[in-house]
Every structure is written in structure tokens, then in C-alpha cells.
Structure 1
Amino acid sequence: MEKKEQASITESTSGDRAPLSSRKFQGVSIMASVLLPMVAAYIVFYTGMGVPSGTINQGNLLQPPVKINELKINYQGEETNLLSNTSPKWRYLILSESGCKEECEKLLYTSRQVHIRLGEKANRVERLLITGAPMPVDKQEKIKIEHPRLKILELSEENIRTLQELTAHQDVAAVRAILIDQEGFAMMAYDNHHSGNQLLKDIKRLLKYSYEK
């Protein structure tokens, strides 16, 4: 009689354990089915693996991507990081000639329109204008009025040269927009040969397959 009761208890315990194990497996399977395609798409976007050349990104890839968020710069007499680590945003870093002339203004306009067209996801993207020599006050005020969400950084010529060298691409002009990912890597470059639709296509895909914090 005791053996039968023990056998019954064992069967009951095993029966309880099996559904629990099955539920855990199902949970892991569901998470994997959601996360793996996102991870795969992100890898494909960065590397182009598995697709014909030129069919994924619209901008020019920087290979390998360059980590620049901790690049030390002299800003207003103090040494600081180029980008803040506290805000994991996607960023357009617009490198201009001194004074932000015609080519620079075109890029500012294009990137602003892209930013607007992102709608509710616009808060995940930030635009920064990097200039060398200080702009005239009236020019700076004009830019601030036309681009209220734009941040302006005036860096030394040495810092500008470093950024230009780190983000150089043979097919992209010196006045360019660099796309920086959430981890601070410069990974793609655009100039005025790229349309707003091309910038928008890339950033929308990256926002879709990246985390939001």
C-alpha cells in the first residue's frame, strides 16, 4: 500500500514539474522569436551580411564604426567628452566649415526635415552642429531660430581635424552629417548628395530595431 502511495506521489510531482518546464520552454521560445529577428536585422544593417551590396543602407558606412562619444575635447576652456553618456540617443553630428555656409545650411535643413518627419520618435534623435571658428552672433541667432532643437558646439581647429579624420569617407564631402548610434559609434556618413528620404529610410529602420530608453 505504501509503495502505491509513493508511486502516486512521484507521478503527481512529475506531472506538476512537466507543465512548469513546458511553460518555461514556451516562454523562452516566444522571447527568442521576438528578439532574434531584431538582432539579426540590426547585424545585417551594420554588416550587410546576407544581402546584395548596396541594398540596405542609404548612407555611406564607416568601416569599422568609430567610437567617438568619449573623445576628449576642449569646450569653453574645459576638457569634456564630445557626447553625453547619460542620454542614449541616435545623433546626427553635422561637421561644417567655419561659419556654416551654404553646404552646411543645406544639411541643416535636410536633417531638420528628417527630424520633423519622425513624429513621435523624434525625441530619440538629436542633432548637433560642430563648427570651428565662432560664428557671427547674428548668424548663430538665425540658426537657433530656424533650428530650435539643434545644439551648437564650437570646437578648436584641432578637435575639428580629429573628427574629420576619424569620420572620413572617400565618397562623402568634408561638410557632412555623421550618424552616431546609441553607444556613441560613428557608423554612417551623408552629404548633400543624399536626399532627406534616404536619411529618413535609414534612421527609421534603425529606430525600429534598436532599444528605447
Structure 2
Amino acid sequence: MATAATPLNVPEGRKARGRLQLLLILLVVLGPMVLATCMYKLGFWVPDGRSYHGVMIGNGQSRADIGIDGHDERWQLLVSAPQGCAEDCQQLVYLARQIQIGLGRDASRASHALAAAQPLAPGYQAQLGREYPQLQRYPLDSGRYNQQVSEPGAQLWIVDPHGNLVLRYDAKVKGKQVLDDLRHLLKLSNIG
């Protein structure tokens, strides 16, 4: 025959200790989430430093948004030349190839490309064919490009395998800085 369960008589001291333990557990679990949300919304305790050297493109822009139609399944070092490929553009094309080579064992995870709004000079076109056989070339819609990009002149972009723009550099960038940024992205990324 089953007996009816009787309520436990727990002393008041143990109840208080149990409540305190429950509050501590909730504080440990929910506290970091509440703190992180407050830090994000209110902007306090956010570090001022950054670990990248270029201009971060954090608005979800893609190659197509700036007038470049092309696709690659790898990370890409993309040189854009809205006014033709002059000396600064040519230097960035060379730099993009050197950065890809500098990746070493990860070189197969990246490619280099040139998007030009105007036809290239015949001499430079021939040089690209000889010296840069893996360079991908895309047309550049200068109207869309000028609407989206306020910086004049040739630019070097890091593009992820989905075609999203990640970082942008001007023509004065040092190759070591771009190489460091791209290595860091490849280390953190499982794609491409």
C-alpha cells in the first residue's frame, strides 16, 4: 500500500543557502550575456585598438555592388582601377601577386585579380599575359564604382570566397600589412 508523500521540513537556514546558490548559478550563467549586451549596446569597455591595417568593409557589400562582375571560390586580392591601370595600379597588381606567393602553403586558398574600367595599354596587356598567367581580369562599371567608393585611384581589396568585400587598401599600402591581414583571415576562416 502506497503512503502519501509528506512535505519536507527544511530548516530556514538551508532554504536561504539554497536560494543563494541558485542566484549565484544564474549570475554566472546570465551575467556575461547581460554584460556583453550592455557593452555592445552602450559601447563601454570596447577596445579602441584594432588588429587590421586596411579599411574594414562591414556593411555586406559585394564585388557586384561596386561594379565588378566576377566569381572565385577562393579568397581574392582584387585591384580596382577606375581610371585605367596607371603606375599605382600596376604596382598594386604586382603587390597582389607577391602577397599570394608570400602565403606559402596557403597560396592555393587565394587568387589575384584586376578589374579595370578602361582597356589596358597593349604593352601592359602583353606583360600581364607573360608574367601574370593566373591573374583574373574583370570589367569594372565605373558608374557603380564611383557611387560606392569615395576614394580616388586604384585600390586593393580583400574579397572573401562568397564575394563579400572585407578590407580595402589604397595604393600606398605596404605589402607586409596586407599579407598579415590576409594570413589572419585565412587562419580564422574555414571557407575558401
TM-score, structure 1 as length reference: 0.61
What residue number does 1:63 align with?
Answer: 58
- SS of the residue aligned with 1:66? coil
Task: Check whether the contact 2:161–2:191 (CA below 8 A) recurs between aligned residues.
Answer: no
The CA RMSD measured in Å over matched residues stands at 2.6
Where in structure 2 are the equivalents of 1:1-213 lying within 5 Å?
Answer: 52-69=47-64, 82-84=69-71, 87-155=72-140, 159-166=141-148, 168=149, 172-212=151-191
- SS of the residue aligned with 2:59? strand
Task: Check whether the contact 2:66–2:144 (CA below 8 A) recurs between aligned residues.
Answer: no
Deviation at 1:117, TM superposition (A): 0.5
Task: Check whether the contact 2:114–2:136 (CA below 8 A) recurs between aligned residues.
Answer: yes
Deviation at 1:105, TM superposition (A): 1.0
- SS of the residue aligned with 2:58? strand
Would the alpha carbon gap of residues 90 and 165 (structure 1) be closer, same or farther in structure 2, given more than 3 Å must change? farther
Q: Could you report, residue by residue, the CA deviation over 1:177-212 in whole angstroms, capped at 9, with x for unpaired residues?
A: 111112211121012221000000110011111114
Q: Could you report, residue by residue, the CA deviation over 1:31-58 in whole angstroms, capped at 9, with x for unpaired residues?
A: xxxxxxxxxxxxxxxxxx9863342111
Taking the aligned partners of 1:68 and 1:106, their CA distance within structure 2 comes to 21
Deviation at 1:111, TM superposition (A): 1.3
Taking the aligned partners of 1:176 and 1:119, their CA distance within structure 2 comes to 24
Q: Between Structure 1 and Structure 2, whose CA radius of gyration is higher?
A: 2
Would the alpha carbon gap of residues 163 and 50 (structure 1) be closer, same or farther in structure 2, given more than 3 Å must change? farther
Q: Could you report, residue by residue, the CA deviation over 1:128-169 in whole angstroms, capped at 9, with x for unpaired residues?
A: 1111221233320112222222112234xxx12313433x25
| Runs of 5+ unmatched residues, structure 1 | 1-48, 74-80
- State the identity %: 26
Taking the aligned partners of 1:72 and 1:51, their CA distance within structure 2 comes to 31
- SS of the residue aligned with 2:182? helix
- SS of the residue aligned with 1:126? strand
What residue number does 2:12 align with?
Answer: none
Structure (1 or 2) with the greater strand fraction? 1
| Runs of 5+ unmatched residues, structure 2 | 1-43
Would the alpha carbon gap of residues 53 and 193 (structure 1) be closer, same or farther in structure 2, given more than 3 Å must change? farther
Q: Could you report, residue by residue, the CA deviation over 1:95-129 in whole angstroms, capped at 9, with x for unpaired residues?
A: 11444111101111211111111112111111111
Would the alpha carbon gap of residues 101 and 68 (structure 1) be closer, same or farther in structure 2, given more than 3 Å must change? closer
Would the alpha carbon gap of residues 72 and 50 (structure 1) be closer, same or farther in structure 2, given more than 3 Å must change? same
Report the residue type matching 1:184 in the other structure: G
Report the residue type matching 1:58 in the other structure: H
What residue number does 1:34 align with?
Answer: none
Task: Check whether the contact 1:97–1:104 (CA below 8 A) recurs between aligned residues.
Answer: no
Aligned length: 149
Task: Check whether the contact 1:98–1:135 (CA below 8 A) recurs between aligned residues.
Answer: no
